[in-house]
Amino acid sequence: MKRGTRKLALLAIWTLVCVVAMWYVLKQVPWQDYATLPDGRRLQVVEYHYAADRRLDSLTLRQANGSTIDVEPEQLARAGSTADEAKIEQGLSRIGRRFNWSSGLIGLAVFAPVPWFLGWRLKVLAAVQSIDLSLVRATIITYSGNFLNFFLVGLTGGDVVKAVCVSRRTNRKHEAVTMVFFDRVLGLACMILLAGGMVLVGWRDPALSGWGLYIATLVLVCVVAVVAYWSRWLRRVLRIDRLVAALPLSGHLRRVDQAVLAFGGDRVRVAVAVVATLGAQLFSILAVFMVARALGMTGSVVAYLVYVPLGWIVAAIPISFQGLGVMEAAYIQFFVASGMGMAWQAFALAMLSRALQIVWSLPGLPLMPVALAGAKLSQVDQGVE
């Protein structure tokens, strides 16, 4: 199969996955509000009527023949056999009225330090490979990579640009590319470990029941992979060095392998990079938590520290554009099944969590030429420092 044909086939697969996933999600997310009567009829809510104390007084419902009726909440079916709450399904059409803009703007502000934490991580990891990057320079490259992440397939496309920006500033090209790849892997590993740690912290939280085994498996796989790769004894047993030497392009692969091993030999800097990673993730998840509160969702901070990173891990799988539809389906599964929100709220949270990242990646557009042009970047550093 020719290269162009392969690209078209891959594009068709991504598009198909995206369409199917969004179709699945939107089938679960109503656009209008619906109320269910005791006789089983599910009618669209035309209007809510509130008393002076903001208590729901009555609802106007549209019947199948187009006529409307007014009913009191007590006349509706119950949400469960022993529930006191009327069975009302909320849809996306009223999100603007229900959204708490104060909490949403706080969430937007909380996300602001995230690119600087990621820039700090990039600077520290570059130092392991003897590549000199200032914090300003690393942050500019991070902004540029984050911006392109929203225009390339998956959540990893901007890493290619980051690798180009870093490699243009050093003769250690293999190490620069490897460092950017390791930067991504470290982020994903910390997400898994954070989710696993929070499951232990909130093991009594009913919202987390049923997910402990799956998350523990992810954590175990992550730990085993790290230990296996950096274990000198295991590398000797498996003859990793001989295997690398026997592969095509062994010279390049050996340098990449040695660059990865260098991270295992500089545990202090890697520990600092982990701290920077956790700082970025905690701020970003807290921002999403505030948006969830703005949407009226419930649940503890610990539950969001588990489910939000898991949703991002799912979105990073390059099977659709930006994980579109895939992350929404994951959020609906996580938050609706745990009783923390309705389908429309989980869907909106997934979309708004993307919006947070997009807003704070926008500086990457004007900074793109600066990130790619070494001379201009040096001038920026001198001006700031």
Distance of CA 19 to the CA centre of its chain: 20
Q: Exposure pattern of 99-127 as b/e (b: 16+ CB <10 Å)?
A: beeebbebbbebbebbbbbbbbbbbbbbb
Q: 242 Cβ partners below 8 Å, 6+ apart?
A: none
Residue 12 lies in a domain: no
Co-location of 187 and 224 in the same domain: yes
Residue where one domain finishes, among candidates 56, 89, 122: 89
Establish if 15 belongs to a structural domain.
no
Assess whether 112 and 145 both reside in one domain: yes
Please check whether residues 278 and 186 belong to one and the same domain. Answer: yes
One domain, residues 289 and 362? yes
Q: State whether 78 and 109 are in the same domain.
A: no
Q: How confident is the model over 293-307, as pLDDT tens digits?
A: 999 898 889 989 989
pTM of the model: 0.78
The average confidence (pLDDT) of the chain is 79
User: In this structure, are 68 and 212 located in the same domain?
Assistant: no
Asked if residue 100 belongs to a domain, the reply is no
Give the chain's domain count: 2
Residue 16 within any structural domain of the chain: no
| pLDDT tens for each residue of 82-116 | 455 667 777 877 787 789 999 999 999 999 999 99
Element (H, E) at 295: none
Least confident of 165-169, 205-209, 372-376: 372-376
Judgement on whether residues 130 and 38 belong to the same structural domain of the protein: no
Residue 226 inside a domain? The answer is yes
| Residue with tokens 């002076």, as numbered in its chain | 52
pLDDT bracket for residue 14 (50, 70, 90): low
**pLDDT tier at 287 (50, 70, 90 boundaries)?**
very high
Q: What is the DSSP string of 28-48?
A: HS-SS-EEE-TTS-EEEEEEE
φ, ψ dihedrals at 47, nearest 5°: -155, 150
| Residue 142 included in any domain | yes
β-pairing, 34-36 with 56-62?
A: unpaired
Token pair 């600077």 is found at 123
Is 96 inside any structural domain? no
Q: 284: helix, coil or strand?
A: helix
Q: Which domain holds residue 219?
A: 105-384
Residues 119 and 47 in one domain: no
Token look-up 């095509």 returns 248
pLDDT for the residue 382? 40
Predicted confidence (pLDDT) at residue 233 exceeds the cutoff of 90: no
- In angstroms, the CA 357 to CA 281 distance is 12
Residue that terminates a domain, selected from 44, 60, 89: 89
Question: What is the 8-class DSSP label of residue 341?
Answer: -
- pLDDT of 157 reads 57
Verify that 159 and 206 share a domain, yes or no: yes
Q: How far apart are CA 203 and CA 199, in angstroms?
A: 5
pLDDT above 70 coverage of the chain, percent: 78
| Residue 9 falls inside a structural domain | no
- The domain boundary residue, chosen from 89, 116, 131: 89
Nearest residue to 236 (alpha-carbon basis) of 246, 228, 224: 228
For residues 63 and 195, state if they share a domain.
no
Strands laid side by side in the 68-71 sheet: 68-71, 56-62, 42-50, 34-36, 88-89
266 and 322 housed in the same domain: yes
pLDDT digits (tens, 9 = 90+) for 22-73: 777 777 777 888 888 887 788 888 888 888 777 888 888 888 888 888 888 8
Which whole number is the average pLDDT over 320-333? 80
Query: Are 67 and 167 in a shared domain?
Result: no
CA 120 – CA 140 distance, rounded (Å): 11
The answer to whether the beta carbons of residues 310 and 335 sit under 8 Å apart is no
Q: Residue 35: what pLDDT? A: 82
59: left (phi over 0), alpha (psi -120 to 50) or beta: beta
